Every structure is written in C-alpha cells, then in structure tokens.
Chain A
Amino acid sequence: DAGVTQSPTHLIKTRGQQVTLRCSPKSGHDTVSWYQQALGQGPQFIFQYYEEEERQRGNFPDRFSGHQFPNYSSELNVNALLLGDSALYLCASARAGGSTYNEQFFGPGTRLTVL
C-alpha cells in the first residue's frame, strides 16, 4: 500500500500564475481533504471532496478550487497566485461512511513557492 501520494514535491511559480497540485488517496479511501500549512504554522483546512463534490470548505477565497475524479484522486487549483500562497499543501484521505471516526492519513505534501 503506497499510502497517500502527492505530486509534484516542489513547485516554484510567480505571482499571478495558476498552479495545479495532485493527490492520490490511500487504497480503499474515497474522501480527500486539502490543507495549507504556512511556514511556522499549523495546517489550515481548505476543502474536502467526496463523491466528486466539494462537501466542506474552510475560509479560503474562490481562487482555491478543486476536483475529485472517479478513481477518488483529487486536484487542488490555485489561480492568480499571491506571495502569501507560498506554503506546504497537504492532502489527507479517509474512508467515508459510518457514524464513528475514520482516520485521515496525510501525504508528504507539495511545497509551493511563489516569487
């Protein structure tokens, strides 16, 4: 089991550009969440996808959008990049359903630098 994988590992963009980050969930998982971790801070929830729809969203502008594919993999898109978007972007997957807690497993992250 490869666990949660993310690509690319590192990315450098300039202000105003657009970026796409990718995530493949752990085998058997159908829910994908994205988090932004700025340097020296804790991760902040961006949004969560399940059944190819956005189910929950944190306090992030519409420049942040996502997609989930039928194979449960997901993309995070950020438009009109700002310097403040520089961060580690973490993907987490889980198995939905049931009334009890289903652990979220995190990927290694994509380090985005905006110049």
Chain B
Amino acid sequence: DAKTTQPTSMDCAEGRAANLPCNHSTISGNEYVYWYRQIHSQGPQYIIHGLKNNETNEMASLIITEDRKSSTLILPHATLRDTAVYYCIGPLLPQGGSEKLVFGKGTKLTVNP
C-alpha cells in the first residue's frame, strides 16, 4: 500500500488558517489523494480529494505540488470545532477491485482559542 507521511501534531489559533502538509512521494499519475478527519472517536469524515489540480470546496482547499509528491490541506479560518485528527490518504489501490482506505496515524490538529 502506498504510504503517506504527516506531522504527528500541529497547533493553530482560532480564526487563522491551518495548513496541514502531507508527503505522498509514491503516488502515480492517475491516483487521487484523499483527506479525511476524525473528531474524537466519531466516524471519519470526508473532506476533499484531488488528482493534480488544486481543489476547493466548502470545507477546505487542497494544494497539490506540480510533481504530485506532496499536498497541503488548508482550513482557511480554523474554529475550535476543527480540532481533530486529519488523515491524508494515498491512492486507493484497486487491488482486486478494492478501494480500501489505508489510514496512517494522521495529524492531530488542535485549534486554540
């Protein structure tokens, strides 16, 4: 399974942008990168995904480097409710047709008042 590398933890002030980096150097050309988050033992929540272009939705923005070896998830105005573990998930490998998600340890983001 492809591996991603994320910092263990980060802090952010409420109202400021939170920038969460991820290294996915083994990604290949047609493979997507996904971001999920998990708020304190709740079910993981899908945030955003991307292939090669930058993406934005109502939750976040995703910036992917030109070589596609790393990406940054941006929460433009972090709130206390954004405190969670954020998972950057490498390509879904359709081995035998499965699109299982391979979760690493993620980044524990703490938004401080």
| A-B interaction | no
Residues of A within 8 A of B (CB): none
